[in-house]
Amino acid sequence: MRTAFIGLGEAGAIYAAAAAAHGDHVTGFDPAAPTTPEGVERSATLAEAVAAADLVVVLTGAALSERIAADAAPHLGADAVYADFTTASPQVMARVERVVQDAGARFADVAILGPVPTKGARTETIVSGSAARDVEAYLVSLGAEVERIDGPAGEATSRKLLRSVLMKSLAAVVVEAVTAGRAAGCEDWVREQIAGQLSGDVAAKIERYESGSRKHAVRRGHEMESVVEHLGALGVPAEMSEASVRFLGRLAAEEAQEQEQPGRALAERARRSSATAMASGFIHVTSPNR
């Protein structure tokens, strides 16, 4: 197996080293990485790295995804598999797939679901795209737990980004809360509160968060305005709390609009019914002078 790794940063170096240990002939290209993993043959150019590869793995920043695909495509073998492990959007993944397939190769987008330094190449992943089965088999051989989605490129990345709505925002909220607790002299108490919310019947809590946020949006919005004021007094940045104020304000406006709409719809139906009846001669308007 000849495997090429584009990007030899933290994650790329770990995967490349695992591939070499697995017995692959591994080439790597990264103009910025200061070191080369053991067992990896460093290539001087992108074209040189991918030219004879059975599998090309891209582990760079998402912003480079399309550019790398365009540069690599002319040099891909007809039976090559091109796997993009970046966090580029589903729309970008779909465009990259077209570039790769137009070159005669097959494509998979791969979403990494955990910190690679912790579990290495065994980190959980999701794969999709025309080469999903091939990449799934390869990652499983490295010891990874893989969820394969039998769908177009971009499906795996979509799942990861939807997960990130929770994971990255939750991390930001926790940091803000702990920082505020520390500033107020009750960090341990705040940590206990966080732990309590992240345990127990989580499924029931999800339902409560969703329904309660809408039902009590006005009151909670006022409460979060007080939170922002308090964090300001503590000298703690309140980006997440400020976002909560905007979020709850939007929910409150939506709820108010939904409550108004049934009454408006009923009045409109009554108006139309009356107009129809009048046009049909069923209702006779009497002059007020008679």
Which residues are part of the catalytic machinery? 160
Contact at 8 Å (CB) between 14 and 143? Answer: no
Q: Is 74 exposed, middle or buried (0-12, 13-18, 19+ CB in 10 A)?
A: exposed
SS3 159: helix
Angle CA 3–28–87, to nearest 5:
85
Other C-beta atoms closer than 10 Å to the C-beta of 58 total 24
Residue with tokens 């979020």: 247
Helices (H), the chain: 10-21, 46-50, 65-72, 90-102, 116-119, 132-141, 155-184, 187-197, 202-215, 217-234, 239-280
State the amino acid at position 185 in one-letter form: G
Pairwise CA distance, residues 77 & 83, whole Å? 14
Contact at 8 Å (CB) between 37 and 20? Answer: yes
Phi, psi of 123 (to 5 degrees): -60, 140
- As beta bridge partners, residue 84 has 58, 109
CB under 8 Å to 230, separation ≥6 — which residues?
180
Pairwise CA distance, residues 30 & 13, whole Å? 10
Contact at 8 Å (CB) between 105 and 118? Answer: no
